Each structure stands twice: as C-alpha cells, then as structure tokens.
A and B are shown apart, each in its own frame.
Chain A
C-alpha cells in the first residue's frame, strides 16, 4: 500500500465536556474518493476544520504528502497542496466569476504583491482561471457578478476556485448541498473524473452521490470513526445500520 496523500493520526478535539473528534485516524490514498458520512453533530465539520487548518486539534496530527502539517495554518496547508470547498459558499459576492477564480490563480502563483499591472490582463492568471471555468461549465458566465449566480452555479464556482490551485488533495464539504437532482448528477460525474487528478475527501449528506462515488467510506458517530470500508462493507455493517441508518438490526 502506497503512502496516503492526506492522513490524520489519532486526532482529538474537545469542546469542554464534549468530545467532538475522538481518536480519528483516516487516510486518503491516491486516486480515491474517500467519503465521510455521519449524522448531524457527528463532528464532520470539526474534523474538516482540523484537516484544513482552521482549528487546532488537542492531540494527534495531520499529514499531507507524508509531511506533518499539524502546526501549519490554513494558508500554509493551501500552499502545500490542499484544495478546499466550503459547505456554505465562501465567494466574493461583489466580484465577477472571473475575479473569484483569478484569486485562486493568484494564490497558486503565490505573489499578490503586484501593484501596477492589471490582474485581469495577466494571461498567466486568466488562462488558468478560464481553464478552470471551462471545466466546471461556467465559462459563459465569466463576467457575471457572483451574487447573481444561482445556488448551483456558486457550488460549481467553489470547485473551480479549488481547481486553480492544482491541489494534491481535495477536501470538499458537502459540495452537493442544495443542488437539484440534475445538478447533483452533473457534479457527481465531474467528481468521478476528478479523482484521477487528485484524491477527494468528501463530506456529503447525499447518499446517492456517496454510494455512486466513494471508493471507501468512513462513518463518523459522536466524533468516532465506527467503521471504514468499501460501499458494500458499509452497507452491510451491522454497527453502521444501528448507529446511523437507523434500522433495527
């Protein structure tokens, strides 16, 4: 088994008496989509925050490409190759679609300290941005103001911004949230392709999408990973049914 691209080792995070993350160790291997599912309040968002750098774990570590990044902040992890999309779109609403994606390209160039040249005339930035917009199917909206996009289009734009970073691993927090059936289908097909470029850690509530996409699934309940396995293994696991799928075993 090759070394995982992204891994957590014995992560633990307490909020007072509540243990939000309880000894979580998960792997994201090259070429896979690893889905994390769990009921509301299971600690999925807390886990994502610790992986991406917004929250410091009480103990345990996060590894990216074999390197311990636990002490790094969000920016450093992004520079190291972590591409993230948000559950609630975090986009510059006043700016155009293109400007939002150019921001990503600018981040990946690592040099925002240019005060004179026009950002939107810089072809090294716009070419990368346009390529990302092309891939998610937003290219005809490149000059639309972000606030005027539909909810689904904002989800697409989230993905496009992450693409400009050419990340080594994606962390996607409910990318399907609020999408219609058609939108979910399109995004599912897109993510299916994307995994060959970089593996995806996918937090998702849409079970159809998870079962269609995931190579492996980890089930998080009360901060603990109660099971990790293939789609079939998880479907058949008695513990998962009891804890999560809500069926009397």
Chain B
C-alpha cells in the first residue's frame, strides 16, 4: 500500500509532467486536455469542501460553475463589443483581464452560495439535495431565456482573456496559470481542513448535536463551508469558460453538478487529492472512451458502481489501503 502523501506527490508530478512531455512531443491538444482536467479538479476541490468535510451533498454546484462562466462571458462580451454593462444605474466597462474576472466570479459565486446555503441548510439529507438541485435548474432556465447574453446559444469570446505578463493563448502558459490556481486552492483546502474551522466542520458533519452542546453553531459552520466551496467552484467556472472561449447554459446544467459528485466519489470523498484524481480519470475516460463510443458514460457508471460497492474510499482509498478519509 502506498502512503497517501507519496501518492499525492505522484499525482502532482504527473499532472505537471504530462503537459511538459506534450510540449516536447508537440501535442498541444494533450495540454488542453490536461488543462481541462485541472479546471474540473478546481471545481471539484471546491465541492469537496462542502461534501467531503461538511457532508453537504449539493446537487447544485453547477450554479457556481455557471456563475463563474457567465461572469467571464459577460465581462469579456462587453469588452469585445465595446459596450457598457449597465448595473444598478451604474455604467461599467467590460474587461479582458483575468484577475478582475476571477475576482468577480469568486464574489458573485460566494454571494449566491450564501443565499442558497441560507435557504437550503434549513433542510438536510434528501431535501437538501433536492433544494440545491432546484436552485440549479432555476439558474439553468434563467440563462436559457436570457437573450441579452445569447440565451440558449451562449456567448462566444473571440480572444482568450489576458493575464499580466503571460500570453494566455499559448496552451502551456494557460495551463500553468490554471495549475498554479489548483495548487493554491489545494493548499487552502489543506490548511482549512486542519484548522479549528475544519475540525469543527468535520464534527458538525458527524455529530451536530455534540457541536451544539459545546456552544458552536453547526449550521453556521456549514454555511461558511458552503460559501467557500461555491466561491472556489465559481473560480473554476471562469477558467472553464476561458478555456473554451465559450459560455452557455450547459454550464448550469445539473448533469455537471452530478459529474462533480461522481468524480469526487471516484477519486475519494474528503481526501485532499480525491477530486484531482477523479477529474483526471474523468477527462481521460471522456477522451479515450468517448472516441470509441458515444455511450462512454456507461463505462463511467460501471466504474462508479464498482467503487461504491467495493472501494468506498475511492481510488485514493484503494491505493492507500484506507477506507475512510479521516482514518
């Protein structure tokens, strides 16, 4: 059995080595593929904070992914059409600057997560799942009917947004940017998990009554976790839209929320690198199996079934020989 720390480093090194190999071998598409995996991993790391530590099974995280995407799309659309964005009587200019777009994506997603969390956390279990799903669908249908920004067709952005000092159109440079953000998010997650907040949240998942009797508010802990979670997934959404230079209502689709949960379960719920492993496997399967058959989701389903039945700790649990994340 492999120690988890070593396994994490192997995954980390692999994620860095594949694109570097791709440069040498002149395979730019592979870089794009790995970038896609990295972005999905960021989104899933975000969800894993709510799901893995807080025990909040959110089937609505596509909301934040989509909000991040639309934050990018709307800002870049106004910049590329030289129109102003009129909001609350203010006339704002669009922007093609990634740092500003990321900031907007994070703030908007965090706000949405706060409102959705405040309402959803009154329930638990299957009702929580259904309410988050309902919010997801509300945003999805809103985006479809929002003709200002392309409605069902979405928005195309002609040139990828810029980052000071980098040429983001070069695949490896954009990959580097996304990879750096994944590292930051993983580091934040690791700190948070071992911090007093993480300890209290972890207990709030297992025994909320105990958390109350020591004078802490389990619901407030979960709400803060949900907000952090949503903000990170929102950031991933902005990156995802930039990768494709396209944003459409499908980013709000509940299928995406489901896929995020699935890839976390495959990788390992509550594990730091669980979402990363899951995202890599998901993108690899999507690429290779997707080339063979249109019905590649069947195989994904089989893998999920095997993992849920025989390896509850996901791939990381299987390789490290530990079933639970907190063992």
Per a CB cutoff under 8 Å, which of A92, A93, A119 touches B194?
Answer: A119
Give the A-B contact count at a CB cut-off of 8 A. 106
- Indicate which residue in B191, B209, B216 contacts A116 across the interface (CB closer than 8 Å): B191
Which chain B residue shows the least CB distance to A114? Answer: B196
Is the CB–CB distance between A90 and B207 below 8 Å? yes
**Within 8 Å CB of A111, what residues of B?**
196
Residues of B within 8 Å of A114, CB to CB, are 195-197
Contacting pair B215 A78 (CB below 8 A)? yes
- How many B residues have CB within 8 A of the partner chain? 27
Interface residues of B in 11-41 (CB under 8 A from A): none
CB distance from B291 to the nearest CB of A (A): 41
Chain A contacts for B327, CB-based, 8 A: 94, 145
Contacts of A54 in B (CB 8 A): 209
Query: Does B217 count as interface, using CB distance less than 8 angstroms?
Result: yes
B contact residues around A86 at 8 Å (CB):
209-210, 213
Contact: A103 with B195, CB < 8 Å? no
Contact B326 A94 (CB under 8 A): yes
Tell me the complex Cα distance, A122–B198, Å.
14
Interface residue A218 (Cβ < 8 Å from any Cβ of B)? no
Residues of B within 8 A of A19 (CB): none
Query: Is B256 among interface residues, defined by CB-CB distance under 8 A?
Result: no
Chain A CB count within 10 A is highest, among B202, B203, B211, B324, for B203
Chain A residues contacting B202 (CB-CB under 8 Å) are: 92, 94-95, 99
Question: Do A113 and B209 contact each other (CB < 8 Å), given the known contacts A75-B216, A145-B327?
Answer: no
Is there a chain A Cβ closer than 8 Å to B103's Cβ?
A: no
Establish whether residues A90 and B196, one from each chain, have CB atoms under 8 Å apart when the complex forms. Answer: no
User: Within B193-235, which residues are at the interface with A (CB < 8 Å)?
Assistant: 194-200, 202-203, 206-207, 209-217, 221, 224
- Do B214 and A103 have beta carbons less than 8 Å apart? yes
Contact status A103-B211, CB under 8 Å: yes
> Out of A74, A115, A164, A165, which one reaches B212, CB within 8 Å?
A74
Cβ-defined partner of B191 (8 Å) among A73, A100, A112, A115:
A115
Q: Considering the chains assembled together, what is the distance between the CA atoms of A119 and B203 in angstroms?
A: 13
Q: Kindly name the residue among A53, A76, A104 whose own CB sees the greatest number of chain B CB atoms within 10 A.
A: A104
Q: How far is the CB of A128 from chain B (nearest CB, A)?
A: 12
> Are A119 and B213 in contact, CB atoms less than 8 angstroms apart?
no
Q: Does A214 lie at the interface of the complex (its beta carbon under 8 Å from any beta carbon of B)?
A: no
CA distance A103 to B327 in the complex (A): 18
A180 at the interface (CB under 8 A from B): no
- CB of B216 within 8 A of CB of A90, answer no
**Chain B residues in 8 Å Cβ range of A164:** 214
Given contacts A90-B209, A91-B207, A103-B211, contact A115 B217 (CB under 8 A): no
Give Cα A130–Cα B224 distance, bound, in whole angstroms. 29
Q: Considering only CB atoms, which chain A residue lies closest to B216 in the complex?
A: A107
Distance (whole angstroms) from the CB of B245 to the closest CB of chain A:
34
A155 to chain B, nearest CB (A): 14
A52 touches B (CB below 8 Å): yes
State A93–B203 Cα separation when bound (angstroms).
9
A109-142 residues with Cβ-Cβ distance < 8 A to B are 110-120, 122, 125
B191 touches A99 (CB 8 A): no
Binding site for A on B (CB under 8 A): 191-192, 194-200, 202-203, 206-207, 209-217, 221, 224, 324, 326-327
Which 8 residue pairs of A and B lie closest in terms of their CB atoms, listed nearest first?
A: A107-B214, A78-B215, A112-B200, A79-B215, A74-B212, A94-B326, A92-B206, A107-B215
